Amino acid sequence: MTFKLNESNMNRRQVLIGIGAMPLFVNAGAGAKKDRVEISVERATNFLLKMQEDDGSFSDSKSRDAAQRGYAITALGVLALASIGNQPGDPGKVGLALRRALNFILRRDPRRGEYEYFGADGSRMYGHGITTLCLTEMMGMGVDKAQQERLRTVGQKAINMILRSQMVRKGNPKHKGGWRYTPSSQDSDLSITVWQLMALRSAKNAGLAVPKRAIDEAVLYLKRSYFSPRDARGLPINMRSGCGYMPGRPPEFATAAAGLLSLQVCGEYDAPEVRGSVAYLESQKVIPREMLWFYYGIYYYSQGMRKRAKPVAAKAKKVTEDVLLKLQQADGSWVGMDGMERGAGRIYCTALSMLSLSVQYRYLPIYQH
C-alpha cells in the first residue's frame, strides 16, 4: 500500500492526519519487520478487496441476508480501508476499490428519495447513519471536482434526513433527541442513535449545516440513557455504570462503550457519565463468546478508551489487539459469534475489527476530537 497526496485532497488529509501521525506501511522500508497489527490489517484489506462486487459494493454475494450487502456494508468497508491511511485518489488496487465503492454509494437511486434515505435498501436508520458517516468522513477526499460536489450534496441531504427524523414527536419524553428504526419512529434506542450522532458530528466537522441544537439534544438523550439514580442537582450517583439500550435499562459492554465514544466526540470528556462509563468498562472482562454484539462493542471501546489517560488507553489497546488478533480467520476476515452478528456477516465484523485495530493511526477525522 502506498500513501500519496494530490491537490484535491491535500488540505483535508493534513487535517485528518494530525501532527505526528504516520501513514501505515510507508516508512517500513525494504525488509523492515511489520508489527502484528500491520500484518493483521493487511490480511483484512486483502479479504475486503476480494469481496467487492462488479458494481463497486462490498457484499457477500453468497448470502441471502440483506444485512450482508448494500449501502451500510459498503460504507463500513470504505471506512475500514480509509482508517489505515488509504484514499480514493491513491494509485493501486486499494485506491481503485475505494473509488468504485464511493461511486456505488453516490449513484443515483430512486429508492432513496428526495432526502437520500440510505436505509431504503432494508438497512433502515442503522444503514442510513453508517452510510452518512462514511460520506461526511470522506469529504475532501474525492478524486475530482464532480465527486467532491456529489459527496457534499448527497451528504447534506442525508444529514437533513437525520435532522428531520430527530424532530418527530416521541411518545416518551425521555426518548427526545434520539432515533430508532425508521425516520418516523416515535421512540429511540442507543444503538441507532449513536450512528446518527456520529454522522452529525462528522458533518459539522466537514462544514455541513448542522444546528448545534441537534447535537445537544442527542447528547442529552445519551445522558438520560446512563443507568443511575440522580442527585438533587441531576448528577448521576452511580459512578461505575454506563448507557443502556434505552433510558432506564442497565448497561452492557457494547452500549456503555458506544455511549462513551459518542459523548467524547461531542466534547463531553469530563462529564460524570463519561467517567462512570470508563470505570464500568475497566471492570468488565472482554470475553467475546459471552458478549452480545461483541464487534460493535469492541469498536466503540477501542476508540473511546483511547481518549482517556495513558494507562487506561494502553490497557484498552492491549485488550483489543489480544482479543481480535486471536479471532482473525485464515482468509483475513472475522466472523460473528452470536446469532445477530453472524447475520450481519463477515464484512461487517471485519470492517469493525479493522476500525478497532487502526485506532492508533488516527486517520479518520471523527476520531481527532
Residue 22 has pLDDT above 60, yes or no: no
Contacts with 82 (C-beta within 8 Å, 6 or more apart), sequence order? 98, 137, 138, 141, 363, 364
Residue listed under C-alpha cell 477526499:
141
**pLDDT (0 to 100) of residue 15:** 38
**Distance, first Cα to last Cα, the chain:** 27
pLDDT of residue 7: 35
Name the packing angle between helices 212-224 and 253-265 (round to 10°).
150
Neighbours of 331 (CB within 10 A): 14
**Tens digit of each residue's pLDDT (9 = 90 or more) over 170-195:** 999 999 999 999 999 999 999 999 99
Amino acid found at 56: G
The set of residues, in sequence order, having a beta carbon less than 8 Å from that of 34 and lying 6+ positions away, is: 25, 28, 42
pLDDT top residue among 367 and 228: 228
Are 82 and 364 in contact by the 8 Å Cβ rule? The answer is: yes
pLDDT of 33 reads: 79
pTM score: 0.91
Cell of 115: 432526502
DSSP per-residue letters across 204-227 = HHTT----HHHHHHHHHHHHHTB-
Query: What integer is the mean pLDDT of 321-334?
Result: 98
Alpha-carbon dihedral 117, 123, 126, 130, rounded to 10 degrees: -70
Closest CA to 361 of 86, 137, 1: 86
